Amino acid sequence: MKKVNLFRIVVLLQICCLAYACSSDDGNDGVNSDFDTNAQLSLVEVNATSVEVNLDRSSIANMGIGIRKQGETSFQLVSEYGAFGDTGAFDALEPAQNYEMTLLIKGLDKFPFEILKFTTLPFNVINSNNSEIRTYNIFSEKGFVHEFTPDTFNDKADLKFYFVDEADPTVKKELKHQFIDNKITFTVPENSVSDTPYEEFHNYNLGYQVGNGDLEFITTTSNSEDLKLVYTVFNPNPQITELRSIESLSGCGSNGGYELNFRGHFFSSFDSVDTYYEKSTAIITRIDDGSEFIIQEESFDCLSYDRLWLKDLIEMPSGMVKKHTDKLIRIGHPRGTTPGAVFDSGDYKIKITFSKDVDDFFETNDFSFTLP
């Protein structure tokens, strides 16, 4: 009787199993492995409702493009397998959404290519705006309610707008916006421009953030260049900044008089400009006895009041005119020695008011000065 070598049988069985397993792996369990492993997908342009991409590859066989919102687990196939060219755009996206995009392989559940992240714009263009615009500068002031109509908007998006300091982008102020009747509105924060120390204006870029995504900026195109929108926030409050000079007035009787020249930021005395304020009054108070000298904008004898402007100080590089066009106020007043009306050597303070009507009234800071 012939003996059977059990050891040889076991070895032969192991070899057969290994050979079968290898042939099964080569078939990739039925998955088509014929695709360009060096293909590269890149973003060309992102808009509010669409994205344009470029595909660098030697073959498109078995490859398609998938898009999903960030946080979702499944990609939606937006191009048929093997049917995409070098470039193309995909529409029907939602504004102000964070998306992901990648190359999908037919029959393969895994994602062998880089997953690109992008955020759609909150809107593409502003169709109307309730404020003056100069190229990429928008007129604003603290407390102003901005209103503009976008071409598209997603009021369900997790979206925040910010004023981002143009000089220091680490400083930002959130803008509480509303979307009503197809218009976006927001109110400029009161702390957007400072009274102490005084700022005549402050520039901000309009930024936005979708969810926990990166801070992005609203831009406009000028001469084929994308520029950040700049909101120039003016301080509506007038301000006295310095007593430029004190001069003696002659011809004011035996006592003479004073001519006081104050520098600052004042509303216009010319009715041809938007910042015209018809009425202006100077109120001077003597510190030691509280005597008040109220000087109207008129001239007679040695009592005078004039608002003056300097062109080189009111026009900005953008072509926008400053809120306060007058930069000098000149006051003439006779020297007085009558008790209760002493206008002579001593300490004083001055405040200047501007008005159009009872609901449109401004006053400057109290400015202290000394008459010699």
pLDDT digits (tens, 9 = 90+) for 52-78: 999 999 999 999 999 999 999 999 999
pLDDT of residue 343: 93
Give yes or no on whether 33-119 and 126-234 have one common fold: yes
pLDDT of residue 20: 37
The string of pLDDT tens digits covering residues 146-162 is 999 999 999 999 999 99
In this structure, the number of other CB atoms found within 10 A of the CB of residue 288 comes to: 9
Show the tokens assigned to 354.
Answer: 């501007």
The string of pLDDT tens digits covering residues 163-194 is 999 999 999 999 999 999 999 999 999 999 99
* Rounded percentage of the chain residues whose pLDDT exceeds 90: 70
Mean pLDDT of the chain: 87
pLDDT of residue 93: 97
How does residue 311 score in pLDDT terms, banded at 50, 70 and 90?
A: low
Residues in the chain: 372
pLDDT of residue 32: 55
Indicate whether 200 pLDDT > 70: yes
Q: Average of pLDDT values for 288-294?
A: 93
CATH architecture label of 239-371: Sandwich (2.60)
Q: Where are the domains of the chain?
A: 33-119, 126-234, 239-371
Q: What is the pTM of this model?
A: 0.81
pLDDT of residue 222: 77
250 or 20: which carries more pLDDT confidence? 250
Task: Please name which of 69, 70, 89 lies closest in space to residue 78, comparing C-alpha atoms.
Answer: 89
CATH architecture label of 33-119: Sandwich (2.60)
Indicate whether 254 pLDDT > 50: yes
* Burial of 212: CB neighbours in 10 Å, binned 0-12, 13-18, 19+: exposed
The string of pLDDT tens digits covering residues 8-48 is 333 333 433 333 333 333 334 445 568 999 999 999 999 99
- In 6-144, which ranges are E strands? 40-46, 51-56, 63-69, 76-77, 87-90, 98-105, 116-119, 126-129, 133-134, 137-141
The string of pLDDT tens digits covering residues 85-107 is 899 999 999 999 999 999 999 99
Indicate whether 290 pLDDT > 70: yes
**CA gap 230, 132 in Å, rounded:** 12
CATH of span 126-234: 2.60.40
Contact by Cβ (8 Å): 221, 213:
no
